[in-house]
Structure 1
């Protein structure tokens, strides 16, 4: 079978959209599955539908990486976006042709620096994982390349500055708060560390726009179990196949002038430019992530194993909907129609027939997740309504029950029981030690101990009038009638 490349497609009589030659207008730090299914997909659509006419040159943030495979395929790869949309099952295929090449700066650092000479280059994109935007004082200006991503970026910007060329619109996609601001801060630290001139500092400030962004798409990556069958159907070998969900949403914080250079709207893409991306991040964390965290532990103890099946259960789906529409949405300040539209999309995303999202996988580190994703909704609901949110309060009891079942120690985990089966409870060691120490507590005692653990909740839950009594009562009902029936009672 021939490998995917432009000739292979021509030989097959491929009649889809391809852009073989165009100026490199985007430098992308990161060549992994997410950016290729998200940013590069959007750029490819902009090329086709809005005349963006730009290629993306990728660079590996770490070694080793995918550069050899990407270059063997001339930057081409097949992307499948799969899931549900408007209630219908969809499976969309697109050959992505916006990538020109992939650089490995650990083998040829000069090739990366040479990109600074390109006057057409205008945009820098990055997704170097949550740990990627970090200042490493061990990096030196003459390292080839500097080990950290912000170090590489600073060196690249300095090369551009010395050439007297304009700066960039920099779009950070890492999953940290205020990612663009944090990246800009790191660049400033390297300017200080390396003793670079004030003129460069002024150029960075004046000529470059560091944008914080919010990205939202589940990318499932290379479909290892299906790859051989997919390639047989395609009629070519594609070693960098990529898959993701249909839903995608990108929020860019910056001036509206960005839209003059990136024609998202003309291409009909789900991308918005706003003055402040915080409300959209809050929406995602509270509704999407909050729905996961508030549902999955109870759902698992109620007998379910994957998210999709939960959407087919009237009680569990009903519990999630009540939590979202009656208890989470009323705590948010975006327009109501936007919030309900996003919530409806969440249900379709959870019901994706192509993703077996295991509840136990989501349960990892649920203590921190409940604090970040659910607790703010509980506190704001009480603040606005003057009463406790029934489902979200129950979700805390379900969290406690899930952990309190861990009566045996495993390897870096506690071992709980669901019927005749066991399951692993994974969290920070101090959390596991706490629950093991309280494994013999009754409902009232464990509710009190957990709620008054200030290391977990900072005292916020202990201060809520009636919360401890409600959680203890919920735990007693779970013990008396089982998780499923107790969840059902929340819907009454």
Structure 2
């Protein structure tokens, strides 16, 4: 069976939205499952719903990765969003066409620097894991590429600055507090280390927008059941080793200045992306409602004979206890609109009831007690 690319997709009879040509507007450090099921999905929707006409250039952060495979498939991959929504089982398939290519900077660093100078580049996204936003003394300006991600970004920004190009919007998705602020701090450290100019420092800090963001979507990633893989290949008419799976729920909260929402393509597309002055209350909402609900019922539910979160959502006693805790004790403490919090809590119940995820109570208890 043929491997997915544009010609193979056309022959397969796929009738969903596809955008083969577009303008490369986004540089993305990270080519893994999460960003492809989250950011690149949102951009794909923006292309369809808002006419964004944007393509994402992926940059592989470490030596080993998916660059060759992504380029073989011309950036295409199949995404399944699975879960429960409004009490109904959902299993949606979409072929994502927002990615144009992937660059391995350890092999083609010059291509990264060349794209850095593009007039069309407006957004840089990153997810280099919790250990990615670090300052490493061994990173040098003349390395191809510099070792750490913040050092690579500093070099990219310097290339853009010396070419006389405008600043970008930096959207950091790493799972650390104040990810955008911490990234900017590292960049400024490299400006010191490398003795770069004060003009460059001013440009970085005044002309670029470093956003801290909160990401929320569970992404199991590839399908591990060999029989299911065979069945889907037969249904689709192609092989796709880049197939990705995420839950239906997804929200991206971006901390940024007034006017940023109009610069980004998401509002017009109607996707669940918010630009807010402070991301902290939304992190509290997630931790207190989602993680708090888990912590609140997990041990009692286990003692009642349950092993999986989903099964607990079908026990009236546990469900009543969880909802009473959330609506009477947790939501009143949150500094956000209470109706929004209630909607988030309702979505959490759907997420816990995901028929595709067997989330073990004991795995939760290890991280919550």
Settle same-fold status: TM greater than 0.5. Answer: yes
Aligned pairs for 1:223-234 within 5 A = 223-225=223-225, 226-234=228-236
- SS of the aligned residue for 1:106 comes to helix
Tell me, in whole angstroms, the C-alpha distance in 2 between the residues paired with 1:344 and 1:172.
Answer: 28
Q: Secondary structure at 1:214's aligned position in 2?
A: strand
Mapping for residues 206-245 of structure 1, pairs under 5 Å = 206-225=206-225, 226-245=228-247
Q: Which residue of 2 aligns with 1:317?
A: 319
Deviation per CA, 1:284-307: give whole Å up to 9, x if none.
Answer: 011011111222233223321111
Q: Quote how far apart the aligned CAs of 1:109 are.
A: 1.4
TM-superposed deviation, 1:240: 0.5
Q: Structure 1 segments of 4 or more deviating over 4 A?
A: none
1:53 has 2:53 as partner: yes
1:349 pairs with one of 331, 351, 355: 351
Q: CA deviation at 1:182?
A: 0.6
The Cα shift of 1:331 comes to 1.3
Deviation at 1:111, TM superposition (A): 1.5
Counterpart for residue 66 of structure 1: 66
- What is residue 116 of structure 1 aligned with on the other side? 116
TM norm structure 1:
0.73
Query: Secondary structure in 1 aligned to 2:46?
Result: helix
> Partner residue of 2:167?
167
The structure with the largest alpha-carbon Rg is: 1
User: Aligned residue for 1:196?
Assistant: 196
Q: Which runs of 5+ in 1 are unaligned?
A: 368-492
- Trace 1:366-385 onto structure 2 (pairs within 5 A): 366-367=368-369
CA contact (8 A) 1:52 1:262 kept: no
1:272 alignment partner in structure 2: 274
Contact 1:84/1:351 (8 A) holds in 2: yes
| 1:82 Cα deviation from its structure 2 partner | 0.9
Matched with 2:157 is 157
Alignment of 1:330-341 (within 5 A): 330-341=332-343
Residue 310 (structure 1) shift: 1.0
Aligned to 1:395: none
Superposed CA deviations along residues 225-251 of structure 1, whole A, max 9, x for unmatched, are 132222221110000101111111111
Give the superposition deviation at 1:315: 2.0
CA distance in structure 2 between the aligned counterparts of 1:310 and 1:293, rounded to whole angstroms: 13
Question: Structure 1 residue 146: deviation in Å?
Answer: 1.5
Partner of 1:448: none
Structure 1 residues 128-178: Cα deviation after superposition (integer angstroms, max 9, x where no partner): 111111111221111211121111101111111111111100001111111
Q: Is 2:298 the counterpart of 1:296?
A: yes
User: How far apart are the structure 2 equivalents of 1:333 and 1:126?
Assistant: 28
* 8 Å contact kept, 2:43–2:265: no
Matched-pair contact (CA < 8 Å) for 2:213–2:253: yes
Preserved CA contact (<8 Å) 2:214 2:252? yes
Q: SS at the partner of 2:186?
A: helix
Distance in 2, matches of 1:157 and 1:24, equals 17
Q: Distance in 1 between matches of 2:129 and 2:295?
A: 22
Per-residue CA distance 1:9-42 (angstroms, 9 max, x = gap): 1222332211111111000000011100100000
> For residue 458 of structure 1, what is the aligned residue in structure 2?
none
Alpha-carbon distance in structure 1 between the residues aligned to 2:247 and 2:48: 21
Find the partner of 1:252 among 251, 254, 274.
254
What is the root-mean-square deviation in Å for CA atoms of aligned residues?
A: 1.2
Unaligned stretches of 5+ residues in structure 2: none
Q: Deviations over 1:192-250 (max 9, x none)?
A: 11111111101101210001111111111111213222222111000010111111111
Looking at structure 2, the residues matched to 252 and 11 of structure 1 have their Cα atoms a distance apart, in angstroms, of: 39
Determine the structure 2 residue equivalent to 1:326.
328
Q: Which residue pairs with 1:75 in the alignment?
A: 75
1:171-186 correspondence runs (5 A):
171-186=171-186
| Alpha-carbon offset, residue 308 of structure 1 | 0.4
Task: Give the whole-Å Cα distance in 2 for the aligned partners of 1:47 and 1:191.
Answer: 36
Structure ranking higher on relative contact order (CA contacts 8 Å, 6+ apart): 2
1:143 aligned onto 2:143: yes
2:8 match: secondary structure: helix
Shift of residue 319 of structure 1?
A: 2.1
Counterpart for residue 381 of structure 1: none
Cα deviation digits, residues 72-127 of structure 1 (max 9, x gap): 11100010111111121111111000000111111221121111121101100011
